[in-house]
Structures are given as C-alpha cells and as structure tokens.
Structure 1
Amino acid sequence: MDDADKTEAFYKKLRSQLEETSEWPSLYLYKFIVPSKDDKIAKVESIFDNLGAVITTKKSKNGKYTSVSIKVRMENPDKVISKYKEVADKVEGVISL
C-alpha cells in the first residue's frame, strides 16, 4: 500500500467516524502543528477565512513550532475532510492532529 492509498484509507475511516459520532452541521475542532513561520500560520488561517472560525495559536516551548486550533461549524464530514486536504496541499510541513 503506497502513501496515497494510506491517505485515502485514513480519510475514508475518518468520514465514517464523523458520520457515526456527530450530528451535522456541527462544530468541529481542527488541530495542526505548523513550523513557526508567520507565512505558514497565515496560510492555515486564510484557509478558514469567512467561515466564522475561532482560531487560537500557541508556540512550542522552544518556539520552533506553533499549535493552531480552529473551531468552526462544518456542514458535513466531506467538508471537514476537504479542509484537511486543502491545508495539507497548501502548507508545507504541517502536521494534522
């Protein structure tokens, strides 16, 4: 199984879990670990612009990484997954939690 297959399997499992555990639309909490560069943090934040998201950030102890938490109302599991994919595509070095 290559990385693309693993990624698709992960998203398929996530979609199933979201459908089983939440009523939609629903508030969803995204968590990302981003290298502490203003442009990368701003890119993540811009992906959630105009969605009414509440965004909080916290730098790691050594300042090398920043935790970005985003609480936003999403319409359905597909929209949740779409945002994860958009962040992964647009922000190099990001880790999704």
Structure 2
Amino acid sequence: MSLKEYEKLKELLAQNKKWPLLYMFKFIVPNADGKVQRVVDLLPKHGKVSYKHTKNLKYVSVTCTASMKSPEAIIEVTNNISSINGVMSL
C-alpha cells in the first residue's frame, strides 16, 4: 500500500467514533518460503484466523477478525504485513 492509501484508510477508520472495533484483515499470500506463517505471526494474537487456498495451492487467502483499539493499531498491522514481498492486502 502506498502512503496515500494508508492515509485514506486511516481517515475512513477515524470516522468511526466507537472503539474498539471488530476489524477484518484479509491478505493474499504466496504459499512459499514460510510467508503464510510470517503473516499469521504478525496478525493480532487474539484474532480468529481462517485460510483458503487457490486451486493450484500457489496462494493462500488469510483472513483474521480481531477487536482493534484504534485506527493506528490497524494501520500498524497492515503496514507490517504488507512489507512482506508478494503479499497483497485487500
């Protein structure tokens, strides 16, 4: 994600006046080099994680639903995971 996209996400999240917020993180992750586990390790520990593989097993969709305390907390998780090469944030 670009800085502009992060700012837009932060702005949208800040419009919500009620925190904590149940938030769904979703990433498409290459199923290689331990990247799926790296993504899971960076997700909130208290979140519920689910997986869905593509038919050819080349990619894994990783979804995590977790209660988040602030827009900054969501941005931090998203930013950390998006820095992994090949990971797409949805």
Q: Specify the alignment match of 1:3 in structure 2.
A: none
Question: What's the CA shift for 1:38?
Answer: 6.2
Q: Distance in 2 between matches of 1:94 and 1:21?
A: 27
5+ unaligned residues in a row in structure 1: which ranges? 1-5
Q: 2:18 aligns to what SS in structure 1? A: coil
1:94 aligns with 2:87: yes
* Structure having the larger proportion of residues in helix: 1
1:82 aligns with 2:83: no
Between structure 1 and structure 2, the one with the greater Rg is 1
How do 1:57-76 and structure 2 match up within 5 A? 57-76=51-70
Q: Specify the alignment match of 2:5 in structure 1.
A: 10
Q: Distance in 1 between matches of 2:17 and 2:66?
A: 14
Question: What's the CA shift for 1:48?
Answer: 2.0
Structure 1 residues 22, 57: closer, same or farther in 2, change over 3 A?
Answer: farther
Structure 1 residues 22, 93: closer, same or farther in 2, change over 3 A?
Answer: farther
CA RMSD of aligned residues (A): 1.7
Q: Distance in 2 between matches of 1:11 and 1:48?
A: 17
Q: 1:37 aligns to what SS in structure 2? A: coil
5+ unaligned residues in a row in structure 2: which ranges? none
User: So what's the TM-score if we normalise by structure 1?
Assistant: 0.84
Structure 1: 4+ residue segments shifted above 2 A: none
